[in-house]
Structure 1
Amino acid sequence: MSVQLSKMPATTEASPINHASRVNRIPLATYRLQLSESFGFEQIRELIPYLQQLGVSDLYLSPLFRARDGSTHGYDVVDHGAIEPAFGGEVELVRMAEETRAAGMGIVLDVVPNHMGINDSGNRYWLDVLENGEGARWAKFFDIDWDAIPQTLKHRVLQPVLGQSFGATLEQGELKVVYFERRLQIEYFDRRFPLAPRTWPAVLELVAARLAEAAHNGVTAGPERRQARIELTELESIIAQLRHLPASEDCSAQALRNRYREQRIARRRLAHLVTKRPRVAEALTAAIEEMNGVVGQPSSFDRLEELLRAQCYRLAYWRVASDEINYRRFFDINELAAIRVEDSQVFEMVHRLVGTLLERGLATGLRIDHPDGLLDPAQYFENLQTLYRRSQPEATRDATGQLYIVAEKILSGSEQLPTDWAVQGATGYEFINLVSQLLVDATGVKAIHAAYEELSGVEETAAEIFYESKKEAASVAMLSEMQMLAARLYRIAQRQRASRDFTLPTLLRALQEVIACLAVYRTYVPPRGWEASEEDHRRIGLAIRWAKRRNPSMSRSLFDFIASVLLLQFPTNLSQEDREAWRHFALKLQQVSGPIAAKGVEDTAFYRFYPLASLNEVGGELDATGIAVEEFHRLMHHRGATWPHGMSASSTHDTKRSEDVRARLHVLSEIPVRWKEAVLLWRQMNRRFLENWDGEPIPDANEEYLIYQTLVGTWPVTPMNDAARETYCQRIVQYMEKALREAKLHTSWMNPSEDYETLVFDFVRKILGPEAAAFQTDLAQFVAEIADAGFVNSLSQVVLKATLPGAPDFYQGTELWDFSLVDPDNRRPVDYATRTAALKELGRRVEGDLSGVATELAAAWPDPRVKLLVTKQSLAARRRHQALFTHGEYIALETTGGLADHLFAFARRDGDDWAITVVPRHFQSLAHGKQNKKAATGWKAEWGDAAVVLPAEIGAAWRCELSGQTVEAAPNGDTLTLAARELFAALPVALLTKTAGTRPAARG
């Protein structure tokens, strides 16, 4: 298959922080699409006209490489070199990509370089490792510790796949030898594991014994006897050939060549015997039956147990993984094994198809999943850029700019994206949290925090829960990874007299403490050179100080030793070999600290501590409150100067709540007293539905508090029929199952307590059932009080991400109101028929009468089409003013008047081209404040003398791109002012551009 695609044009300057001076293609707006068996390339192709009309410039696809059977997300890739057949395969991908290019749009691929799915027969690399051990051709593909401390794992890899203990599994006959696809394998229900060819003689000798008996006793005719002896001789030759295969521990090049050559020949010879000689096939069947043992006769399984002991893997109960697994995983998921993409051969295999897609123009950008799991992220991104350059025609290669790449990097606190990464920015988690902090009321958030202990019963502080959750992740979910690290450190310690008395258990405990106290996801001690950065010195030093403070009974010298290793502060007499061991340990710890932080914070702490759940977002802080407008301006100016092309997201496939749920919950920060009163009332109304669990109510107070926040954030503003109510109830139950298990307090994914969960689910069903009609009425009234402010917040988010520095990213379906929760709720099918029809009608009418359409939709508030209109018009403005929004200057604008704090405004400038964005803040308190003598309804409020201040030279005449209205700035001394009451006369948000004839601004 061959297709000729023209190159995408180079559109704009790259961020000055990057090495290349230009980027090949900067998306104006991306749209994330989640591929599935029912939503593949054909369905995406049909959506291209819709997305083009919406204003999207680039499709942003979930992983499309072949994943394990039945995958629901695509991150469990089993073959990076193949397109997922369930999505339509390569043929449909090309058709979709061609139509995308014809529409002038690009495609951003989601690449998964850190790990692979191994629970699938399609992963030939993992099967090769299971069959041939550390001497396998692909052994270096995976991050396996072949020298693990448990003796049962020396030169073996753990396979924690059994549903019960190994002994019980074996004696119940669940493990069976089979001959399948010319290989002897172990079958466990629907899974098969290859048997190492060196161990096949254990089975084949039983076959030979039967053939020998037939040759001597069972065959009377001369020719048939001779044939039986020939068969036996051939089989004995095969057995001898297999016995002489190189040991799996022999990793030399010669051994590798011999091993695969001789295996191939032996398999072919055996297959010929089994296929062509019925007597051999019958004997093999009988031998396998004997090997597999008889249920009820434990000793009959001894031979099979011995065979399994000889393999390059150890089959084990799945719970063993938390203690003894000896391959690095993606987080604590046993079925996802980390790969060593820092190895050039592995990099090539993982990215060969990516390079082909780039070369053929089928992809124009990349999103890189979990770069913190990589040994050397900076080098990895350089390798990607090199791959891209090499994919371009040689004649133009030198002029080729950077490929557009964004990194899924979680930034903690004030942490910045590493400046040596050859990327255009991050995927937008930090943007989500900054916008949330802008929209909430900081004082109200603090009041909610103050009332949280009373409402939830949670006495620990955010800092304590952060520490405890990370330590728990390091001590339970990812204990195996920590034990591997501790074993490495122990070997290092034993080589120096000063550290020789540090025991393995104390090193393990100390490492867990240091990682629990690390404020960021990982550090970046260099794989080359010997100097840790000043920033890493600060971060590691702080973690060490906190670990000492939290553990006064532990030796301070123990922590000092760990710090010296992590920071490469070598003793003067340390050999080069030992120096490399120190650095290798530091690098491996960095690969583990990020997953521990993610498990501890995102997947544990966020489900234990949630005073205001809308601030508990990926990349957020447990103690987050609001942010001052001045600080937000400063951070956006910095973003524009350093990472102007990073994604600006508001919802993603990983967010804990959709943008509209968060937007509504933000409003609670404006009414902390009313919110507390509501929770206390609802708790009283629903007390009769609580159940007793060892003298304690179920759900507990904190879980009940989360339920009420979840209901407030998602409750429909229009009445539900019986079917809709049942669907809604099931969604909340599904969410609570995930929330309870992630919290790991009363139940968990590893040890689910179905009894406890059932009682919580019953509580949810009862408060949403007919017996709790009074509660539901009060809940609906409460939601009605805050819903309008929530909708205003939602529109503000749309305009902000479309106009602030960055490339706006839209998650599938969120162009209309979307009240989804965490996955899998946010991956439900999207009704594109409704969206397509609505956009088509809007597009037809907007061309002739934008002002009339805006007025009509505003009057029908909260018609979901108002969000569609704001999205469409914001993106249309970006397209008309590409240079302005792609790399234009960011300018903070002052607001004035008695209600100035309720306005947020900024300008973008590129030469004489200007745009002004103005959105409300804290709309609930504005609409119901003293200045509004009668509480406002809908989205309108009295703005008094609130205004935005403009430089006098900027010009007075402006047009709102969202509503079509024109506004005139009033002179005010040396400045101009735009009155808020005029800006928000048609819609609650405004995006202004200069009208024709406006005097150009002077370039400062």
Structure 2
Amino acid sequence: MTPRATYRFQFHMGFPFAEAEALIPYLDRLGISHVYASPITTAAAGSMHGYDVIDPTRINPELGGEAAFRSLSEAARRHGMGVIIDIVPNHMGVAGGGNRWWNDVLAHGQASRYARFFDIDWSRKLVLPILGEPLTKVIADGQITVERREGRAEIVAYGEHRLPLCDEDQDAAETIALPELLDRQHYRLASWRVSNDELNWRRFFTINDLAGLRVEDDAVFEETHALYFRLYEEGLIDGVRIDHVDGLTDPFGYCRRLRARFDAIARDDGNRAYIVVEKILAADEAMGSDWGVDGTSGYDFMEEVAALLHAPEGTRPLGELWAQLSGRSVEFAPEELQARQDLLSWQFAGQLDQCVAAFAKLLASVPELEGAITTAMLRRAIERLLWVFPVYRTYGPDAPETDEPIRAEVRQRVARFVPPGEAFVVDRILDWLSGEGPGDEVLLSEAVRRFQQLSAPIAAKAVEDTAFYRHAILLSRNDVGFDAGRLSLSVAAFHERMAGRAERFPHAMLTTATHDHKRGEDVRARLAVLSAIPDRWREQVKQWERQTMALSEGLDPADWYMLIQTLVGAWPEPDDMADFAERIAAWQEKSLREAKLRSSWEAPDSDYEARCNALAKALIEEDAGAEFRDGMTRLLADIAPAARANSLVQVALRYTMPGIPDCYQGTEFADLSLVDPDNRRPVDYAAREQALESGGVAKQALIADLLRLRRADPDLFTTGSYHPLPITGHGRDRAIAFERRQGATSLLCVSGLRLAALMDADGRIDWRDTEVALPEGPKRLAELLNDGPVWYQLRPA
């Protein structure tokens, strides 16, 4: 059944299925229609997220196994609810020795029935970059041994990595010289430092523990999806969310195949499977409507509603403040370009080599191009295309509607980087990416695949996991799927996008918080207020700069400013301060290492990180930070009414716009979380249950009331039309109004936006002559929004 509203749970050993089952009555009272589960298949031992799947054919025993999942699903059914699960078709976890498919490949090489399951280049031995030093040194240090377990000999590295030996070496494993024994295996042990350059199998982004799957292969598809089809046939799940769909060889074909398979399964209830994809859309990228899915999992909506909350007048002054403090560019584009160049040469060099080699083979199949294009030309063209590619990837001849505008934009962007006389090479590659042009069909398909499975991780790692940690005009505009080059979205543009949702993807997911967000939804809502009061913010920042000068000595000013913004956004209530310094220290470590400027995961600068942590700790809890904390108290008090308004408006829009609203675990209360693992901390559900029984805290009460309306008339919210309502007068750009209509039933909604500029010291809003054109005539906002920033009214037929 199509969901009315979902609630996302992050399952792990400490929060198994039984814990979620106990919360079904609470979710039902809240108004949720579907549990939305993180991956339920067997993951690496102790996994806290489930995306490192080691066995997609079995439900994770650490979560309770199939019996507990069945019990959860049946409990949901008894309350008229359903279940949606997150599936991971792109990759599997291969660390820790628990993946029997991967172990079989290591033991038998290309002869393994699972050899084709993984995306491995078998022209040389499979490279395993698990060593801390070169192999010869590790052997000399005695860090590699041969041991037997259950009668079979294994290679053991550092006492933790257990690797199978080939069958031929089982009997004499202990007598053969270790270098000779290792040389006889189907894999080559290597230092982790060579992985970026020498890895010959596709990994997930830059994570050596996750190996890419060839789900485009019929056998791989069937074996990795059999469990999902059975669970759907038995009525235990109602649909899926597809993780990282752009990592697949053919996302378009995969989704249509998945839809066809689900549609072919007869269900007693007659409902169609709900399918959404995790897909990051660029600022103006449109998703094709012929994928056979219900839409995305909601990062695009998160971006749209966040941008709507930001005031455009903050763009210039906040940019100037960032440039003045950091000495870095006010524009995001140069940061993105530098990050793409860095990542392509640092972390994706091996994948780039493979991509160039694939195009070189394709080139060799075209006699008329012999001597016209060299391999070096191909490399230069591919590199430069990846520097400027505006989206995660293209999709080939099946998607001309979306791909053609992208290729046209790429041609325009790349022109200034192309060496003189080599533009025709770029054109040739872009033609090949469209599925056109001369050459062997098989070689063409492989070359295009290599490019598309490189452009997606380059975009993700360069933008979200590098440039977003280097650029900080306002951190509330740096999150998964966000356009950091744009501070604000106009009301008119937001209306246009929502009308498009109603027309093209009325069942797409709507979210404002996820397991992957970099800042919680209420952190972003609070920081967004600063865009409406840039002068007040500049004054406060300059005061803090003077007050913390001695404490900040030796720190990069950009790192100082990111810390200040993070403290403002995430500063908790007094009762939650106990572990705040530790949470900030964990965020700092990740932030500094992802930026790759003063520290990195590969070569951490522990001294610099410690100085940053010391500053944060002083500001949060030590005497040296007393003046800072006084300023924080005053600022938070000043912006609290506008921040609360942003928080409630964000909720109201999520639950009234075209689509299916999702509530990420625990965020029915204030969500002041930071990047993972902070956003996956345990949730106090007892407090939430108790609050709901007594009427709910502000966010929770608003969610419950809007879900009450959705339960009463679900069609209005899913398939109802969307119509903007005009606003005039003094505050016309400080509010949004619209009508949802289904037949004679309608829902009218009005919400305030960017209200800090209209608020007095007590939080009262001066709407003056602002009016909204309701169907029965104009109405003053001072009357509608007198008691809060959100007004809505359901008008039944």
TM-score norm. by structure 1 comes to 0.77
1:347 matched to 2:203? The reply is no
2:618 alignment partner in structure 1: 766
1:136 matched to 2:7? The reply is no
Distance 1:944 1:680 in 2: 34
Paired residues, number: 794
Contact kept in structure 1, 2:319 and 2:330, CA below 8 Å: no
- 1:85-115 CA-to-partner distances (Å, cap 9, x unmatched) read 1111111111111101100001110000000
Deviation at 1:690, TM superposition (A): 2.2
Deviation at 1:504, TM superposition (A): 4.4
Contact kept in structure 1, 2:358 and 2:450, CA below 8 Å: no
1:711 matched to 2:555? The reply is no
Deviation at 1:459, TM superposition (A): 2.9
Give the counterpart letter for 1:748 in structure 2: S
- 1:202-239 CA-to-partner distances (Å, cap 9, x unmatched) read x26xxxxxxxxxxxxxxxxxxxxxxxxxxxxxxxxxxx
- 1:262-301 CA-to-partner distances (Å, cap 9, x unmatched) read xxxxxxxxxxxxxxxxxxxxxxxxxx2x54xxxxxxxxxx
Give the counterpart letter for 1:567 in structure 2: S
- 1:419-471 CA-to-partner distances (Å, cap 9, x unmatched) read 22111010111111111121111121232123320022213631111111122
Change in 2 beyond 3 A, CA 1:564/1:62: same
- Of 304, 310, 329, 2:184 maps to 310
Change in 2 beyond 3 A, CA 1:56/1:312: same
Give the counterpart letter for 1:795 in structure 2: L
Matches within 5 A, 1:440-459: 440-459=310-329
Distance 1:608 1:88 in 2: 42
Q: Which has the larger radius of gyration?
A: 1
Contact kept in structure 2, 1:78 and 1:120, CA below 8 Å: no
- Of 675, 695, 699, 1:867 maps to 699
1:920 matched to 2:794? The reply is no
Give the counterpart letter for 1:613 in structure 2: L
1:511 matched to 2:386? The reply is no
Contact kept in structure 2, 1:60 and 1:108, CA below 8 Å: yes
1:657 matched to 2:522? The reply is no
Matches within 5 A, 1:313-324: 313-324=187-198
- Of 352, 375, 386, 2:260 maps to 386
Deviation at 1:774, TM superposition (A): 0.8
2:766 alignment partner in structure 1: 942
1:161 matched to 2:130? The reply is yes
Distance 1:446 1:907 in 2: 33
Give the counterpart letter for 1:810 in structure 2: C
Matches within 5 A, 1:14-413: 25-147=1-123, 154=124, 156-188=125-157, 189-200=159-170, 203=172, 288=174, 290-291=175-176, 303-392=177-266, 400=270, 402-413=272-283
Deviation at 1:909, TM superposition (A): 0.7
- Of 558, 569, 585, 1:733 maps to 585
365-374 or 488-497, which deviates more: 488-497
1:492 matched to 2:373? The reply is no
Q: Structure 2 regions of 5+ residues with no counterpart?
A: none
- 1:903-923 CA-to-partner distances (Å, cap 9, x unmatched) read 211011111111111110111
SS at match of 1:670: coil
Matches within 5 A, 1:570-719: 570-571=437-438, 574=439, 578-691=440-553, 697-698=554-555, 700-716=556-572, 718-719=573-574
Q: How large is the RMSD of aligned CA atoms in angstroms?
A: 1.9
1:900 matched to 2:761? The reply is no
Distance 2:190 2:316 in 1: 49
Change in 2 beyond 3 A, CA 1:384/1:770: same
Distance 1:825 1:533 in 2: 41
1:559 matched to 2:421? The reply is no
895-904 or 874-883, which deviates more: 895-904
Distance 2:441 2:73 in 1: 49
1:749 alignment partner in structure 2: 601
1:889 matched to 2:760? The reply is no
1:782 matched to 2:658? The reply is no
- 1:22-64 CA-to-partner distances (Å, cap 9, x unmatched) read xxx2111101111121111111011011111011111101111
Change in 2 beyond 3 A, CA 1:89/1:535: closer
Distance 1:386 1:770 in 2: 64
- 1:712-742 CA-to-partner distances (Å, cap 9, x unmatched) read 11113x445xxx5441111111111111111
Change in 2 beyond 3 A, CA 1:949/1:138: same
2:790 alignment partner in structure 1: 989
Change in 2 beyond 3 A, CA 1:753/1:501: farther
865-874 or 321-330, which deviates more: 865-874
SS at match of 2:116: helix
Deviation at 1:612, TM superposition (A): 1.2
SS at match of 2:384: helix
Deviation at 1:558, TM superposition (A): 3.6
Distance 2:579 2:320 in 1: 35
Change in 2 beyond 3 A, CA 1:75/1:779: same
Distance 1:735 1:116 in 2: 27
Deviation at 1:818, TM superposition (A): 1.7
Give the counterpart letter for 1:785 in structure 2: D
Distance 1:494 1:982 in 2: 73
Contact kept in structure 1, 2:721 and 2:740, CA below 8 Å: yes
Contact kept in structure 1, 2:288 and 2:401, CA below 8 Å: no
Contact kept in structure 2, 1:445 and 1:612, CA below 8 Å: no
Change in 2 beyond 3 A, CA 1:765/1:553: farther
Change in 2 beyond 3 A, CA 1:198/1:561: farther
Deviation at 1:165, TM superposition (A): 1.4
Deviation at 1:891, TM superposition (A): 1.0
Contact kept in structure 1, 2:710 and 2:717, CA below 8 Å: yes
2:674 alignment partner in structure 1: 821
Give the counterpart letter for 2:441 in structure 1: R
SS at match of 2:586: helix
Change in 2 beyond 3 A, CA 1:545/1:500: farther
Distance 2:420 2:154 in 1: 52
Contact kept in structure 1, 2:645 and 2:788, CA below 8 Å: no
Deviation at 1:653, TM superposition (A): 0.8
SS at match of 1:66: strand
- Of 294, 306, 316, 1:424 maps to 294
Contact kept in structure 1, 2:320 and 2:330, CA below 8 Å: no
- 1:239-260 CA-to-partner distances (Å, cap 9, x unmatched) read xxxxxxxxxxxxxxxxxxxxxx
SS at match of 2:531: helix
Identity %: 40
Distance 2:241 2:24 in 1: 20
Contact kept in structure 1, 2:381 and 2:426, CA below 8 Å: yes
Give the counterpart letter for 1:434 in structure 2: E
Distance 1:361 1:834 in 2: 32
Distance 1:543 1:146 in 2: 33
Distance 2:492 2:349 in 1: 43
Change in 2 beyond 3 A, CA 1:102/1:400: closer
SS at match of 1:688: coil
Distance 1:765 1:164 in 2: 35
Give the counterpart letter for 2:417 in structure 1: R
2:743 alignment partner in structure 1: 911
Give the counterpart letter for 2:744 in structure 1: D
1:250 alignment partner in structure 2: none
Deviation at 1:881, TM superposition (A): 1.7
TM-score norm. by structure 2 comes to 0.96
- 1:118-149 CA-to-partner distances (Å, cap 9, x unmatched) read 013321111111111122111110011112xx
SS at match of 2:569: helix
